[in-house]
Structure 1
Amino acid sequence: MELKVLGPATPSEGGCSKGSCGSTDDQMAHLPEHIRERVKNHPCYSEEAHHHYARMHVAVAPACNIQCNYCNRKYDCANESRPGVVSELLTPDQAVKKTLAVAATIPQMTVLGIAGPGDPLANPARTFDTFRQLSDKAPDIKLCVSTNGLTLPDHVEELVKHNIDHVTITINCVDPEVGAKIYPWIFWKNRRIRGVKAAKILIAQQQKGLQMLVERGVLVKVNSVLIPGVNDEHLKEVSRIVKEKGAFLHNVMPLIAEEEHGTYYGVMGQRSPSQSELTALQDACGDMNMMRHCRQCRADAVGLLGEDRGQEFTLDKIDAMEIDYDAAMKKRAEIHQAIEASRDAQRAAQSAKAATATASGLPKGLRSVYMAVASSGQGVVNQHFGHAKEFLVYEASPTGARFIGHRKTDQYCAGDTTCGDAETALQRTIRVLDGCEVVLCSRIGIEPWGHLEDAGILPNGEHAMEPIEEAVMAVYREMFETGQLAPPAFENRSA
């Protein structure tokens, strides 16, 4: 089995002036060293880390104690990528076996989370059995849990006992009237409770659990689902309150409401937010540390954020693997050290460049530009345009490159000679890139190049294998020097 070190690291995450792009180096500078250590290789808590480190979820928690109007849990739907979906429901023993196999095969995997398909704390025996075993057998892996918070206060001490110092709570409201529109019912003390009363209980438990975790030094990420017309404006208040209570990170996610998923909102025609609405709300949440790189992962996701290698690790495939676990675990440590050394070197180089940034000649009032980047990870421009399943979107401005979000798309070229229905897929990709003025990739074909230019999007393949932020800013400077930063070509940009 060959274990490979990921390539060059992304530069420091500066330039995120509106909200933040996850946990950046500058924002972590004031934190104690032990907090920085807990965040630096966590792909969900650090935007920079997600380019280099992988995560996995194990689906050991089938039951849920609340009903959300945006949720419909399907257990065997391998082609869907959204929370609550899994292909295999695991026992704790199976989950531990799978985790060890993934850790040996993907040495960049640093985080194991339990996020469903139900609520982990509604399945405490299965959840904590898994954590107990992994604490002993894989002590180098960070353990995380994601919960709706209804029974969180009852389990805080157990979470702390097992060194689970990263917890995500889904908090969609702090007003019971709003909550009643999101949650049809909760199951509380052996009774099903509905409406405003149910929402009031849930909110109180969430806030109590959040406070208890923060008091015990646990890093808390708050997830919120943006539901237009229901909690869109209200989420600004949610962000303010959770920050006051000590939440480390706020992740505002767009509602997924396709009718075919069978959720209440999907069937009733509730629309999802646009990318521009999502970005505007994230920016409106003040100086709260904001996660923008979330991929709304499946409950059995494996790999880097933005990829899913779960089908490589089904139980039958794991049984057929021959792994020297002792050798693999030793190799993990070596690879993690190599990644951090590469990141440190890149940060030093970036700091040196930043010292001379004032001589760049970019006017402070220069308009910003949205650029899409095709990257398969590692923080570099390293993907063929036709192979991209998603694009990372950055905003370039005189203050630097700011990560805005990601846009999923169909793979334009599947790698064969026909590329299937290429024209239709290409047209869909161009629609997804609406509002972006540049797309950076490692390579691009003549046909898509022409279609992108016709749509007002400049293709650029000149910065292959360069760190993303450096490439974005290099193109931005070129646009300034060639007079392309006149009044913006797009008035209604989305990210």
Structure 2
Amino acid sequence: MESGRCGGTGELEEISRHPCYNEEAHRYFARMHLPVAPACNIQCRYCNRKFDCVNESRPGVVSEVLTPEQAAQKAVGVAAQLMQLSVVGIAGPGDPLANADRTFETFRKVRSRVPDVSLCLSTNGLTLMEHLDDIEELGIRHVTITINAIDPDIGSDIYSWVYDSGIRYEGREAAELLISRQLAGLKALCERGVLCKVNSVLIPGVNDTHLPAVSRTVKSLGAAIHNVTPLIVAPGSPYEQEGRRAPRPKELHALQEICGGEGMKIMRHCRQCRADAIGLLGQDRSADFTWEKIEQAPPLNPEAREQLQASLEEKVRQRMNRRRDRESRPSDDTQASRVMTTVAVASRGAGKVNLHFGHAQEFMIYESDGEVLKFIGIRKVQSYCHGRADCNGDKEETLREICSILKDCQVLLCSGIGDHPRKTLQCCGITPLVRKGDAEALILESAKYSNYFQNTPISKG
């Protein structure tokens, strides 16, 4: 079997509407997580059970745990109103396969009532081998496995315990059991043609130098994509008590570059979503879909859904083709003299610069020399203002934190910005540009100007 399979024609069709597997699709297609799985069979040292935390870290937080019937009702109501909903997944708040009956009952109900959505499962992989037939029978085509280590000695620093078949394992023994099950499950799923994404939490001082080996191993077993995410330390967790820190953006980017350097497809647009998230990545709308709104939802209209999604899929294909065209262009003699400009983009989605600086809770980071464009990743921030259009507040601490997070960026694109944050960013070497429109075109334009000024000699006369 060919390893690192993502990229074939059939596979591209399967990810064309999946926002997590396809960087371009996440601008247009929405996903929905159904929180039906409260129990977990492992204890990660970055997790705190009081916060209903899934093995993938803080994303496990949910507002309420649903029954399978409630989950199916909510899926129908959301699909009827959110026409770009293309994926329904179960990711917690515990481990879905530690709650296998609830998980698979939910999937069966969703499959019968909203047949046009793709089903997606996230798991720590401990009991994956027991459920291969269920996954195949239900047509679950996308499975994410969180694999933080392939060395039990390193794993013993990540997992406090593993509970399997009535026995609690600790230390190296626990890690060895979990890792062996994860790798066996990944291999078996890939052999059955299921598209697998591997998530790995980057933990500085624990597995930071080890994750390239994890990436090589999962690629050899057939994983389609590797998602290296930054550690989020849950309040009250062992890691918080030990004083563990989250990785810095440059550390995450450097490791992603290493893991992707040997041909592994790397996910860079992950938002580390909650287990009850709804909407586009980075734009959680779960609060919009109350039970009152679900009950008032219009009947499901499969024809209208397919018409809209087909048009969105065409936009995804066009963006992918443009990116391939840019990447395949032969280099010219001046390329060596071009300087890569790092650009931060404030966006509500759809590939547009359409968000005010003060309202941004994340920035999309790109590098470009005016010809080539490369997506680097997502950087989350605390929004500078809450509701005020001019954002000329006195939130100096928040503004300093944003400047620190974006300190390697030369340009920031947004739809608006107040005078005070504008001046502060400029003092930090970041040029805010107020623009609206297609993000890629604006990034290339700003990078060309940056290259021009950096390569134009200053006149002496």
- TM-score, structure 1 normalization: 0.85
Q: Which moved more, 1:205-214 or 1:307-316?
A: 307-316
What SS class does the counterpart of residue 282 from structure 1 fall into?
A: helix
Contact 2:154 / 2:207 at 8 angstroms: preserved in 1?
A: yes
Residue 480, structure 1, aligned to residue 456, structure 2: no
Deviation at 1:352, TM superposition (A): 7.4
Name which of 158, 180, 190 aligns with 2:156. Answer: 180
Deviation at 1:363, TM superposition (A): 2.1
Deviation at 1:366, TM superposition (A): 2.8
Partner residue, 1:380: 352
C-alpha distance in structure 2 between counterparts of 1:280 and 1:104, whole Å: 42
Contact 1:75 / 1:88 at 8 angstroms: preserved in 2?
A: no
Contact 1:75 / 1:89 at 8 angstroms: preserved in 2?
A: no
The change in CA–CA distance for 1:163 and 1:184 in structure 2 (over 3 A counts) is same
Name which of 168, 171, 190 aligns with 1:214. Answer: 190
C-alpha distance in structure 1 between counterparts of 2:320 and 2:181, whole Å: 41
Deviation at 1:343, TM superposition (A): 3.8
Deviation at 1:442, TM superposition (A): 1.9
Deviation at 1:255, TM superposition (A): 0.7
Name which of 101, 105, 129 aligns with 1:153. Answer: 129
Q: Name the amino acid aligned to 1:292.
A: R
Q: Name the amino acid aligned to 2:448.
A: R
What SS class does the counterpart of residue 482 from structure 1 fall into?
A: helix
Q: Name the amino acid aligned to 2:367.
A: E
Unaligned runs of 5+ in 1: 1-22, 487-495
Name which of 441, 444, 451 aligns with 2:417. Answer: 444
Deviation at 1:54, TM superposition (A): 1.1
Once the two structures are superposed, what CA deviation does each residue of 1:344-369 show, in whole Å capped at 9, x if it has no partner? 4556667777888867x742353322
Name which of 259, 264, 289 aligns with 1:288. Answer: 264
Partner residue, 1:330: 303
Deviation at 1:431, TM superposition (A): 2.3
Q: Name the amino acid aligned to 1:269.
A: G
Deviation at 1:405, TM superposition (A): 1.1
Number of residue equivalences: 448
What SS class does the counterpart of residue 125 from structure 2 fall into?
A: coil
Once the two structures are superposed, what CA deviation does each residue of 1:175-211 show, in whole Å capped at 9, x if it has no partner? 1111111111111121111111111111111111011
Q: Name the amino acid aligned to 1:333.
A: E
Contact 1:369 / 1:396 at 8 angstroms: preserved in 2?
A: yes
Unaligned runs of 5+ in 2: none
Partner residue, 1:412: 384
Deviation at 1:102, TM superposition (A): 1.4
The change in CA–CA distance for 1:124 and 1:269 in structure 2 (over 3 A counts) is same
Contact 2:52 / 2:93 at 8 angstroms: preserved in 1?
A: no
C-alpha distance in structure 2 between counterparts of 1:388 and 1:47, whole Å: 20
Alignment root-mean-square deviation, CA: 2.4
What SS class does the counterpart of residue 300 from structure 2 fall into?
A: helix
Partner residue, 1:48: 24
C-alpha distance in structure 2 between counterparts of 1:213 and 1:235, whole Å: 21
Once the two structures are superposed, what CA deviation does each residue of 1:317-365 show, in whole Å capped at 9, x if it has no partner? 434xx222233x3321121122123344556667777888867x74235
C-alpha distance in structure 1 between counterparts of 2:50 and 2:137, whole Å: 32
Deviation at 1:74, TM superposition (A): 4.1
C-alpha distance in structure 1 between counterparts of 2:251 and 2:288, whole Å: 36
Q: Which moved more, 1:245-254 or 1:67-76?
A: 67-76
Deviation at 1:469, TM superposition (A): 2.2
Contact 1:55 / 1:112 at 8 angstroms: preserved in 2?
A: yes
Contact 2:344 / 2:412 at 8 angstroms: preserved in 1?
A: yes
The change in CA–CA distance for 1:349 and 1:123 in structure 2 (over 3 A counts) is closer
The change in CA–CA distance for 1:423 and 1:181 in structure 2 (over 3 A counts) is closer
Deviation at 1:439, TM superposition (A): 0.2
Contact 1:76 / 1:88 at 8 angstroms: preserved in 2?
A: no
The change in CA–CA distance for 1:74 and 1:315 in structure 2 (over 3 A counts) is farther
Q: Name the amino acid aligned to 2:86.
A: T
Q: Name the amino acid aligned to 2:264.
A: M
Name which of 423, 428, 431 aligns with 1:458. Answer: 431
Percent of aligned positions that are identical:
48
What SS class does the counterpart of residue 439 from structure 1 fall into?
A: strand
Contact 2:343 / 2:409 at 8 angstroms: preserved in 1?
A: yes
Q: Name the amino acid aligned to 1:458.
A: T
Deviation at 1:389, TM superposition (A): 1.3
Contact 1:364 / 1:398 at 8 angstroms: preserved in 2?
A: no
C-alpha distance in structure 2 between counterparts of 1:172 and 1:485, whole Å: 47
Name which of 312, 318, 338 aligns with 1:339. Answer: 312
Q: Residues 49-64 of structure 1: matches in 2 within 5 Å? A: 49-64=25-40
Q: Residues 352-391 of structure 1: matches in 2 within 5 Å? A: 362-391=334-363
Residue 469, structure 1, aligned to residue 443, structure 2: no
C-alpha distance in structure 2 between counterparts of 1:352 and 1:213, whole Å: 33
C-alpha distance in structure 1 between counterparts of 2:409 and 2:376, whole Å: 12
Q: Residues 93-112 of structure 1: matches in 2 within 5 Å? A: 93-112=69-88
Deviation at 1:139, TM superposition (A): 1.1
Q: Which one has more relative contact order, counting CA pairs under 8 Å at least 6 apart?
A: 1
Q: Name the amino acid aligned to 1:105.
A: Q
C-alpha distance in structure 1 between counterparts of 2:165 and 2:431, whole Å: 59
C-alpha distance in structure 1 between counterparts of 2:317 and 2:60, whole Å: 37
C-alpha distance in structure 2 between counterparts of 1:241 and 1:355, whole Å: 29
Partner residue, 2:246: 272
C-alpha distance in structure 1 between counterparts of 2:372 and 2:198, whole Å: 27
Q: Name the amino acid aligned to 1:483.
A: Q
What SS class does the counterpart of residue 297 from structure 1 fall into?
A: coil
The change in CA–CA distance for 1:88 and 1:461 in structure 2 (over 3 A counts) is same
What SS class does the counterpart of residue 154 from structure 1 fall into?
A: helix
Deviation at 1:385, TM superposition (A): 1.5
C-alpha distance in structure 2 between counterparts of 1:345 and 1:239, whole Å: 30
